[in-house]
């Protein structure tokens, strides 16, 4: 199964050694895709700046691109008060630019091995409090917060389902088909379980095995970044699962660090009609 080009997004930080939003916006316009997912990893938005965001948003929309989601990669549980303050700033950017979804991570924990129950519960409770506080802040702004499977605590069907259910569905889900591998979860199973709670999607790929893997899952599975469509994730099955649940949102392409437009063109050709 393939998807329409206009349903694709690029992150506003994508290329090796280059993280300027305008470059990515120009690239998205050249390839005729639908939008750009702004994020705090790009140079202009490392801290919440309404002025910078307004300029970037205007530049994107002048080129016919939508802004479906703002992404904040943050290890929130390491400094909850500081993290919440920053996230509130990005929420105000979403409201100002009429970006419907604010996606954020909670814990960037990639240590190998399973956490003990007590430690996992402690981290979960801290992270859940942050996520719920942010959801409460965002609701009057007309912005919905989204969490994604990430690291070894907020990952897998059980733990993502738990935090979303705890919120009373105030929090939605970003279905990241690569991140679930850290919890040894099948991407299609995750998509089908989360169902209508999925509001945005991230497409990426990993190659299993290798002598010097970049990552190791909870169960010890070894894998590394690779070009989308060249690894071991069944992209077609994941796209079929999205179709099965009636997903109509956007798909952000996650390039680990694209070398240039050649890789981008190959990936789009693989997954688009």
Rg of the chain over CA atoms, in angstroms?
17
CB–CB of 224/206 below 8 Å?
A: yes
List the one residue out of 197, 198, 192, 194 whose CA is nearest residue 241.
192
In 66-116, alpha helices (H): 80-97
User: Which two tokens mark 131?
Assistant: 């996520």
Residues 6+ apart with CB under 8 A from 65: 25, 28, 29, 33, 34, 35, 36
Q: How many domains does the chain have?
A: 1
Supply the CATH number for residue 74's domain.
3.20.20.150
Residues 6+ apart with CB under 8 A from 16: 257, 258, 259
Q: Which class for 111: exposed (0-12), middle (13-18), buried (19 or more C-beta within 10 A)?
A: exposed
- Residue ranges making up the domain that contains 241: 5-271
Residues 6+ apart with CB under 8 A from 188: 234, 237, 238, 240, 241
| Geometric angle at alpha carbon 233, from 66 and 3, rounded to 5° | 35
In this structure, of 29-38, 92-101, 115-124, 139-148, the range with the lowest mean pLDDT score is: 115-124
pTM of the model: 0.94
Residues 6+ apart with CB under 8 A from 15: 23, 24, 255, 257, 258, 259, 260
Helix (H, G, I), strand (E, B) or coil at 253: strand
Residues 158-216 have pLDDT tens digits of 999 999 999 998 999 999 999 999 999 999 999 999 999 999 999 999 999 877 888 88
Residues 10-26 have pLDDT tens digits of 876 666 555 678 888 99
* Element at 132 (helix H, strand E): helix 117-138
Largest CA distance in the chain: 51
* Helix, strand, coil fractions of the chain, as percent rounded to 5: 45, 20, 35
Residues 66-103 have pLDDT tens digits of 999 999 998 899 899 999 999 999 999 999 999 999 99
Residues 6+ apart with CB under 8 A from 17: none
**Angstrom distances, CA of residue 169 to CA of 103, 132, 198, 202:** 15, 11, 11, 20
pLDDT range class, residue 116, cuts 50, 70, 90: confident
């Amino acid at each position: 199964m393939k998807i329409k080009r206009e349903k694709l997004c690029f992150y506003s930080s994508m290329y090796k050694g280059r993280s300027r939003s305008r470059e990515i916006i120009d690239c998205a316009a050249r390839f005729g895709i639908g939008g750009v997912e702004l994020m705090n990893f790009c140079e202009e938005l490392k801290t919440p700046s309404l002025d910078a965001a307004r300029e970037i948003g205007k530049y994107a929309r002048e080129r016919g691109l939508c802004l479906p989601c703002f992404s904040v990669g943050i290890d929130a549980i390491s400094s909850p008060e500081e993290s919440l303050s920053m996230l509130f700033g990005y929420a105000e950017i979403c409201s100002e630019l009429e970006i419907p979804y604010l996606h954020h991570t909670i814990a960037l924990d990639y240590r190998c091995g399973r956490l003990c129950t007590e430690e996992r519960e402690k981290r979960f409770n801290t992270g859940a409090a942050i996520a719920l506080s942010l959801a409460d802040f965002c609701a009057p702004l007309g912005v919905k917060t989204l969490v994604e499977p990430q690291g070894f605590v907020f990952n897998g069907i059980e733990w993502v389902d738990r935090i979303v259910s705890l919120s009373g569905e105030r929090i939605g889900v970003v279905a990241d088909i690569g991140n679930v591998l850290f919890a040894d979860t099948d991407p299609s199973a995750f998509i089908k379980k989360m169902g209508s709670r999925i509001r945005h999607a991230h497409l990426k790929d990993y190659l299993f095995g290798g002598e010097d893997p970049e990552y190791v899952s909870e169960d010890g599975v070894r894998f590394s970044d690779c070009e989308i469509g060249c690894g071991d994730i069944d992209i077609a099955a994941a796209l079929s699962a999205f179709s099965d649940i009636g997903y109509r949102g956007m798909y952000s392409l996650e390039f680990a660090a694209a070398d240039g437009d050649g890789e981008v063109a190959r990936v789009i050709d693989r997954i688009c009609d």
